Chains A and B, each alone.
Chain A
């Protein structure tokens, strides 16, 4: 009898596994049906916003939320859009805690039939983890910060072409800009690279380190964690004759603390070089430090209005999320032109986006992989004594 029960349980388990496997092979059909489900647009259209609202990256995540909301607010305030209002539903991905939160957010958006497109998520690891959720729901998603190069190559981290788009240049574009500036402009021969153990940071550190080594620069590599505040022992290791320290981190207050402790240790003459994750005027304010970041147009009325509304704090890390919201809202509006829309129509409209100008300072259009067309690249900034970032290259 016992053997019979065990055999029955085994058979049931095998049957469950087989049905799950069968289900997974049928996933394209489910994608197709979710993507082609017709939604009546009405006067208010819904989009999702996936960002780290809480958790260790909440500081930059909320910048993205505020910039994306800022776009939606401006859109909704226009009289011409009275019957084309946008409702944005936030989803908290808790970047840095567990990618399971990003997956959960993706699934909740996918299962909400009103959601037509998504802004986000923020982290490259979140994009990788949540792609199946978005694809399963037929949703297009536009990230304002996921910059890992392999996200769009169609194979390394999975294929998400036609679904994933980004409004930031990728890391492959950032690394050479940084390395060129270090070797050609600053003539550095001894560089210390410290990553913060996150995928974003390690990718950039690897890329820049590789180029520097190929050019004969002496490179030393170390790591910190995003929860570190005491850098004194790391700083004690850095030789006095080091010319520059590359810190491709995501938390600007951490870079500020690092810079202060570096100065306190008598090594203030060593220059810091950050990445777009540290583009936070007023927070990271170690005078003379360099930073690579996506360009923005300071003369754009939206940029001016945002800075004014936020008491002088531009929160520029979130700026590409404004453009991402602009892309998604534009696509939803286009797809809703006849009063009805499908997620597939929205995805197609995203792919055909053509913004002649943007607050990034250049036109925004996408290539098939989901990357922006040239001239999307990075600029080099230097921190001034008043804490502002001045573009120098």
Chain B
């Protein structure tokens, strides 16, 4: 146990050193604008990373309990954002909301989370449960099939055009400047996203650590047959895991729509890949690892976009995934002794 902790601390220490080294390199050797620019990119990266972290949690939960890479998860996130958009439209739209904005946003989150959660339940019930005892490649193929099914269903249902949340009209462009008028600008919308993501992650951690369901999740993750013999219904626990993971993806979908406005039927593909990358970098199966991985992927993407010309951020993000896999195959926090769901 001590060695596992030591390994994790070593990983984190190495990561911290790498970040500090990058920070000084970026500020002193980059031709661009110094500390303010660096911190602006960092804030942007944390906001983006919060979304990736929420998506990564779904991947990591399902992998932790079923050892299944649920490639349909990114598309559940896409459906969540469309559900949020539907609620927004039904309740008057961003320019003329029929109810107070705070209530409207809350409704969008609740309905999108419920809808995505139910979708996750349906996917588990019809695409994965029948393959529970099949070779591991079968549910993986099924997951890819579900992903394409969801993307094309969204195309048929919502059309191919982009939809716009107009989040800035709904919540405003305002924000705060950290460090004076020329300092780092943080939109209120971005703050809401960060706080919302952190609260959801903490709620999930609390659920896994301190509730009966959480204990059951850990038990099923550790030994499904053993848990069943102790009176736990693995099917119910797995279904609950899918519901929670998908609900978090739905919340991320609404946050994405509010923050970046445009949503479309293929948006889940790349976001899903990045969420998956975050889960793997953090250590798939580990909840804190998913959070760390998400923030890290967001930061790397933001810095790459800011410091490198052209659009090479995806190259950098996925290059780092390969690097982490080569150096640390189980991810930054993914040790066997870790508590998993």
Q: When chains A and B are docked, how far (Å) is the Cα of A62 from the Cα of B168?
A: 28
Asked whether A222 and B185 contact (CB < 8 A) given A59-B162, A253-B164, A257-B261, the answer is no
- B9-17, B221-229, B289-297, B305-313: which one contacts chain A? B305-313
Q: Is the CB of A237 within 8 A of B262?
A: no
Which A residues lie within 8 Å of B3 (CB)?
none
Chain A min CB distance to B264 (Å): 8
Interface residues of B in 243-269 (CB under 8 A from A): 256, 259-262, 264, 266-267
Which B residues lie within 8 Å of A263 (CB)?
168, 173
Q: With contacts defined as CB atoms under 8 Å apart, how many contacts are there between chain A and chain B in the complex? A: 98
Please give the number of chain A residues whose Cβ is less than 8 angstroms from any Cβ of chain B in the complex.
36
Chain A residue at minimum C-beta to C-beta distance from B162? A253
Q: What are the interface flags for A265-294 relative to B under an 8 Å C-beta threshold, 1 for contact and 0 otherwise?
A: 110000000000000000100000000000
Which interface class (under 10, 10 to 19, 20 to 34, 35 or more) fits B?
A: 35 or more
Which B residues lie within 8 Å of A228 (CB)?
311
Chain B min CB distance to A381 (Å): 20
Q: What are the interface flags for B136-161 relative to A under an 8 Å C-beta threshold, 1 for contact and 0 otherwise?
A: 00000000000000000001000111
Chain A min CB distance to B298 (Å): 9
Q: Is the CB of B160 within 8 A of A236?
A: no
Which B residues lie within 8 Å of A256 (CB)?
164, 261-262
Interface residues of A in 2-23 (CB under 8 A from B): none
Which A residues lie within 8 Å of B189 (CB)?
264
Q: Is the CB of B175 within 8 A of A264?
A: yes
Asked whether A251 and B162 contact (CB < 8 A) given A233-B302, A236-B306, A263-B173, the answer is yes
Q: Is the CB of A232 within 8 A of B44?
A: yes
Q: Is the CB of A230 within 8 A of B270?
A: no
Which B residues lie within 8 Å of A56 (CB)?
266
Q: When chains A and B are docked, how far (Å) is the Cα of A367 from the Cα of B167?
A: 48
Q: What are the interface flags for B165-196 relative to A under an 8 Å C-beta threshold, 1 for contact and 0 otherwise?
A: 01110000101000000000101010000000
A224 contacts the other chain (CB 8 A): yes
Chain A min CB distance to B90 (Å): 18
Asked whether A257 and B32 contact (CB < 8 A) given A223-B310, A227-B270, A233-B41, the answer is no
Residue among B32, B175, B185 with the highest chain A CB neighbour number at 10 A: B185
Q: Is the CB of A229 within 8 A of B41?
A: no
Chain A min CB distance to B39 (Å): 10
For this complex, 6 residue pairs linking A to B, each with C-beta atoms less than 8 Å apart, are: A54-B155, A58-B155, A62-B161, A223-B310, A223-B311, A236-B40
* Residues of A bordering B, CB below 8 Å: 53-56, 58-59, 61-62, 197, 221-225, 227-230, 232-234, 236-237, 251-254, 256-257, 260-261, 263-266, 283
